A and B are shown apart, each in its own frame.
Chain A
Amino acid sequence: MANKLKFLIMVSLNRKIKTKWFVIVNVLLLFLIVAIANIDTIITFFGGDFDRKEQIYVVDKTDSSYDVFAEQLAVVEKSILGRDESSFAVNLVTEEEYETFDYEEIIEEEPSSIIIYLEPSDNVMDAKLITEVYLGTIPQQIILTSLNETRSIIALLETEIDEEELAKITTPIAVERIILDEEKDSDEEMQAAIMSTVFPFIILPFFMLTIFLVQMIGAEVNDEKSSRGMEIIISSVPPKIHFFAKIIAGNLFVIIQGLLLFLFGVIALFSRQLTPSAGITDGISAEINNILKMVLDSDLGSQLMYIIPLTLILMLLTFLAYALLAGILASMTTNIEDFQQLQTPIVIILVIGYYLAIMAGVFTGATFIRVLSFFPLISAILSPSLLVLEQIGVVEVLFSILLMIIFNFLLIKYGLKIYKVGILNYSTTGLWQKMFKALRS
């Protein structure tokens, strides 16, 4: 019987891998992943006026605000975007030019121009912001913050505060970060913050592979069942062997596909080192590189030493659980359409886990999310996320693993009873009674 199990696994696996579509899809995936990793290079390759700066025309009727505004604009832009080179070109409209300055003419010539009127008022200074169309959120945030800062400084200057005092007030505050837990430092805190953003993207392939797994097992079982080939198969091998063959083959497939995705990711990173990046996406490019550097940095290495194995164990156990669940549900259905209906709740559970993992960074310390991180079907997504955010420790993750093992054991124990009955059942009438009866048997 062991030979038959091995044979069934190989047949099932070959049906998935030894197909032209498997090759085509993976070639496409490789191209897409490399393309995503180099999207900035691709954008610049096709050309565009990326060096062009946004023109800001300042009509300063206060006679004293332009210099302060120009200075604040540079400071605020740097603090928000983290780069030295400004994307704005600030032009002063002098007093002599007031009469002849026609903003409509400027905008007609250059529709992206930004016109700012600075006018004296009871509130020190009022401003008028004119553009042809909507202004982007970030430029708007930079300009409004700069205007507010400008007004505050002008107001302080009007109080005849000396320059030394003003410098003290406008200089960014120096913050010394102290964390009492000796095992933690502020660098790790930053890494954790970055990982909370990055981790959901790392687990995205797991999410996709789980969906693949569920659909594949459902389709395969239904294919054999609807053709009545199942009777020939089950008359030759026990349902238990057939069930395990499907589960093992499905899991082997997602492991192979997962390794291929990892390989494609490495190739994409390598290709990134080979391609020049330039132009408007410099900032994005630098941030991606920074994050990658941070993730691969040796400081994080010590954490990754246990995060990666624990995550992999949880993922493998979760693949197994979803495969078992898919096999059991597929045995109860009589066609692929019915199975697709039944798999919807499975997908929703996965989606919930994925969103909770993203939200975990926002709702730090939320008991609800913490408790759900032990829930078997989503713990592979949620537990490592909380571990990265240091909201839970290794012990909690080990407990999640233990729960997953118990959950899989129960799925095998009770699921097999349902599978044995369901696999040769072609009727939809009294289905649930049959299943409950099988469970009681």
Chain B
Amino acid sequence: MLKVENVVKYYGDFLAVDDLSFAVERGEIFGLLGVNGSGKTTTFRMIMGLLDYQAGDITLDGRKIDYSVTDKIGFLTEERSLLTKLTVEQQCIFYGVLKGMSEKKIRERAPMLLKKFGIAEYWQRPIKELSKGNQQKIQFITAILNDPELLILDEPFAGLDPLNVEIFKKEILEMASRGCMIIFSTHRMEHVELFCKKIVVIQDGREVLGGEIAKIKENYGLKNVFVNGENIKKKDLETIDGVVSVTKNGDDWEVKIKDISYLDNVFASIKDQRIYKFLLQQPTLNEIFVAKVGEKYGE
């Protein structure tokens, strides 16, 4: 298990991470979310042992993370970390050996992964000649080459088309099913909802939201009711007690209510009309994220 406990990190006088705590179990995919500059990359760097911290503790299976355990970790950085003058083969061997693998093992595993990602023919090609998407695949392959016990993915889907996102998702879920701990950062909330059971949202280095996604949604309060029917007017919906906002969403009216207790009010006000749709939905993670992190996310 990866444990981050009450970690504090200062850059000079600037507080980058403030008393951050979370834990990731084996086989779990964990979302570390936040706007740009919120402290995600600093947290990843501390986990990787690249940065010291002033207080707290970070452990992997009870051991402090140092160079004796980093061979068990895979790391995909947000920005390209490939040495583009190298060929795919040279790059895989370079990062693989640094992760403690033998060249023989790398030559067995890397082509297999390349095949899985549909780029087997690029084994001998210089990285600089590959497209942005294919470079991202190579970067991902080098991160998982050592079959890590802990995988850190900072914006893994950047530059990928939907088809390739699917290939990545499949591999990430497969790794989790094999017991790999995965920490994952992205701005795409639909990916977080799809993968993660637990998340932490940080802002200015401090946790503003954390826990299991289902519970977060349950506790969030605001609910969405999708309504469709004849003679249902916006102004009528807006006057209902407990309704926060009404917006058109396709053919439906999306009615936000303060909490579940106001659901009956909405139904009572339209029950005499011909109703085609009356659907209660949990808020999306994106809504919760925007509500918690505020205007900064939109900037």
In the bound complex, residues from chain A placing their C-beta under 8 Å from that of B95 are 232, 236
Instruction: Tell me how many residues of B have a C-beta within 8 Å of chain A.
Output: 26
Interface presence of A7 (CB below 8 A): yes
Query: Considering the complex, which residues of chain A in the window 98-124 have a beta carbon less than 8 Å from any beta carbon of chain B?
Result: none
* Segment of A61-69, A223-231, A268-276 in the binding face: A223-231
Interface presence of A309 (CB below 8 A): no
Contact assessment for A231 and B48 in the assembled complex, using a CB-CB cutoff below 8 Å: yes
Taken together as a complex, chains A and B put the C-alpha atoms of A230 and B98 apart, in Å, by: 12
- With A7-B97, A7-B98, A237-B98 in contact, is A232–B12 under 8 Å at CB? no
Given A4, A223, A228, which contacts B97 in the complex, CB threshold below 8 Å? A4
Contact assessment for B49 and A223 in the assembled complex, using a CB-CB cutoff below 8 Å: no
Taken together as a complex, chains A and B put the C-alpha atoms of A96 and B119 apart, in Å, by: 98
Q: Which residue of A lies closest to B146 (CB)?
A: A236
Q: Which residue of B lies closest to A241 (CB)?
A: B67
In the bound complex, residues from chain B placing their C-beta under 8 Å from that of A229 are 81-83
Taken together as a complex, chains A and B put the C-alpha atoms of A224 and B97 apart, in Å, by: 16
Interface presence of A172 (CB below 8 A): no
In the bound complex, residues from chain A placing their C-beta under 8 Å from that of B100 are 4
Contact assessment for B99 and A236 in the assembled complex, using a CB-CB cutoff below 8 Å: yes
Query: Considering the complex, which residues of chain A in the window 155-199 have a beta carbon less than 8 Å from any beta carbon of chain B?
Result: none
Interface presence of B169 (CB below 8 A): no
Q: Which residue of B lies closest to A4 (CB)?
A: B98
Interface presence of A301 (CB below 8 A): no
Contact assessment for B12 and A11 in the assembled complex, using a CB-CB cutoff below 8 Å: no
Interface presence of B136 (CB below 8 A): no
Interface presence of A205 (CB below 8 A): no
In the bound complex, residues from chain B placing their C-beta under 8 Å from that of A234 are 50
How far in angstroms is the closest Cβ of chain A from B65? 10
Instruction: Tell me how many residues of A have a C-beta within 8 Å of chain B.
Output: 22
Which of B12, B67, B73, B142 is the most central at the interface, judged by chain A CB atoms within 10 Å of its CB? Answer: B67
Taken together as a complex, chains A and B put the C-alpha atoms of A363 and B84 apart, in Å, by: 52
How far in angstroms is the closest Cβ of chain B from A425? 10
How far in angstroms is the closest Cβ of chain A from B97? 5
Taken together as a complex, chains A and B put the C-alpha atoms of A11 and B71 apart, in Å, by: 19
How far in angstroms is the closest Cβ of chain A from B271? 59
Contact assessment for A235 and B50 in the assembled complex, using a CB-CB cutoff below 8 Å: yes
In the bound complex, residues from chain A placing their C-beta under 8 Å from that of B82 are 227, 229
Taken together as a complex, chains A and B put the C-alpha atoms of A234 and B99 apart, in Å, by: 11
Taken together as a complex, chains A and B put the C-alpha atoms of A233 and B95 apart, in Å, by: 7
Contact assessment for A228 and B98 in the assembled complex, using a CB-CB cutoff below 8 Å: no
How far in angstroms is the closest Cβ of chain B from A14? 9
Interface presence of A255 (CB below 8 A): no
Contact assessment for A11 and B94 in the assembled complex, using a CB-CB cutoff below 8 Å: yes
Interface presence of A82 (CB below 8 A): no
Interface presence of A348 (CB below 8 A): no
Query: Considering the complex, which residues of chain B in the window 40-82 have a beta carbon less than 8 Å from any beta carbon of chain A?
Result: 45, 48-51, 67, 70-71, 73, 75, 77, 79-82
The proximity string for A residues 210-251 relative to B, scoring 1 for CB distances below 8 Å and 0 otherwise, is 000000000000011001111111111110000000000000
Taken together as a complex, chains A and B put the C-alpha atoms of A236 and B12 apart, in Å, by: 26
How far in angstroms is the closest Cβ of chain A from B295? 26
Taken together as a complex, chains A and B put the C-alpha atoms of A7 and B99 apart, in Å, by: 12
Interface presence of A403 (CB below 8 A): no
Contact assessment for A424 and B50 in the assembled complex, using a CB-CB cutoff below 8 Å: yes
In the bound complex, residues from chain B placing their C-beta under 8 Å from that of A238 are 67
How far in angstroms is the closest Cβ of chain A from B228? 49
Q: Which residue of A lies closest to B152 (CB)?
A: A235
Interface presence of A25 (CB below 8 A): no
Taken together as a complex, chains A and B put the C-alpha atoms of A237 and B85 apart, in Å, by: 21
Contact assessment for B50 and A231 in the assembled complex, using a CB-CB cutoff below 8 Å: yes
Q: Which residue of A lies closest to B79 (CB)?
A: A228
- With A227-B80, A237-B67, A238-B67 in contact, is A232–B98 under 8 Å at CB? yes
How far in angstroms is the closest Cβ of chain B from A440? 13
How far in angstroms is the closest Cβ of chain A from B60? 13
Taken together as a complex, chains A and B put the C-alpha atoms of A188 and B181 apart, in Å, by: 76
Q: Give the number of A-B contacts (CB < 8 Å).
A: 58
Contact assessment for A1 and B12 in the assembled complex, using a CB-CB cutoff below 8 Å: no
Interface presence of A430 (CB below 8 A): yes
Taken together as a complex, chains A and B put the C-alpha atoms of A424 and B49 apart, in Å, by: 12
Query: Considering the complex, which residues of chain B in the window 8-24 have a beta carbon less than 8 Å from any beta carbon of chain A?
Result: 12
How far in angstroms is the closest Cβ of chain B from A356? 39
Taken together as a complex, chains A and B put the C-alpha atoms of A7 and B90 apart, in Å, by: 12
How far in angstroms is the closest Cβ of chain A from B101? 11
Taken together as a complex, chains A and B put the C-alpha atoms of A233 and B94 apart, in Å, by: 9
Taken together as a complex, chains A and B put the C-alpha atoms of A167 and B89 apart, in Å, by: 85
In the bound complex, residues from chain B placing their C-beta under 8 Å from that of A236 are 67, 70-71, 95, 98-99
How far in angstroms is the closest Cβ of chain A from B185? 14
Taken together as a complex, chains A and B put the C-alpha atoms of A8 and B98 apart, in Å, by: 8
How far in angstroms is the closest Cβ of chain B from A316? 28
Contact assessment for A235 and B12 in the assembled complex, using a CB-CB cutoff below 8 Å: no
Taken together as a complex, chains A and B put the C-alpha atoms of A433 and B100 apart, in Å, by: 36
Q: Which residue of A lies closest to B91 (CB)?
A: A229
Taken together as a complex, chains A and B put the C-alpha atoms of A236 and B98 apart, in Å, by: 6
Taken together as a complex, chains A and B put the C-alpha atoms of A237 and B67 apart, in Å, by: 7
- With A235-B50, A235-B70, A237-B67 in contact, is A227–B98 under 8 Å at CB? no
Contact assessment for B50 and A224 in the assembled complex, using a CB-CB cutoff below 8 Å: no
Taken together as a complex, chains A and B put the C-alpha atoms of A235 and B99 apart, in Å, by: 9
In the bound complex, residues from chain A placing their C-beta under 8 Å from that of B70 are 235-236
Contact assessment for B83 and A224 in the assembled complex, using a CB-CB cutoff below 8 Å: yes
Contact assessment for B85 and A223 in the assembled complex, using a CB-CB cutoff below 8 Å: yes
How far in angstroms is the closest Cβ of chain A from B100? 8
Q: Which residue of A lies closest to B90 (CB)?
A: A11
Q: Which residue of A lies closest to B68 (CB)?
A: A1
How far in angstroms is the closest Cβ of chain A from B225? 46
Contact assessment for A232 and B77 in the assembled complex, using a CB-CB cutoff below 8 Å: yes
Contact assessment for B81 and A228 in the assembled complex, using a CB-CB cutoff below 8 Å: yes
The proximity string for B residues 226-246 relative to A, scoring 1 for CB distances below 8 Å and 0 otherwise, is 000000000000000000000
How far in angstroms is the closest Cβ of chain A from B196? 23
In the bound complex, residues from chain A placing their C-beta under 8 Å from that of B142 are 232
Taken together as a complex, chains A and B put the C-alpha atoms of A232 and B80 apart, in Å, by: 11
In the bound complex, residues from chain A placing their C-beta under 8 Å from that of B67 are 1, 236-238
Which of B12, B50, B80, B142 is the most central at the interface, judged by chain A CB atoms within 10 Å of its CB? Answer: B50
How far in angstroms is the closest Cβ of chain A from B246? 46
How far in angstroms is the closest Cβ of chain B from A323? 21
Q: List the interface of chain B (C-beta within 8 A of A).
A: 12, 45, 48-51, 67, 70-71, 73, 75, 77, 79-85, 94-95, 97-100, 142
Q: List the interface of chain A (C-beta within 8 A of B).
A: 1, 4, 7-8, 11, 223-224, 227-238, 424, 430, 433
12 interchain pairs, CB-CB under 8 A: A4-B98, A11-B94, A223-B85, A227-B81, A228-B79, A231-B81, A232-B75, A232-B142, A233-B98, A236-B70, A236-B71, A430-B12
A-B contact sample (5 more), CB < 8 A, given A228-B79, A229-B81? A7-B98, A227-B83, A229-B83, A237-B67, A424-B45
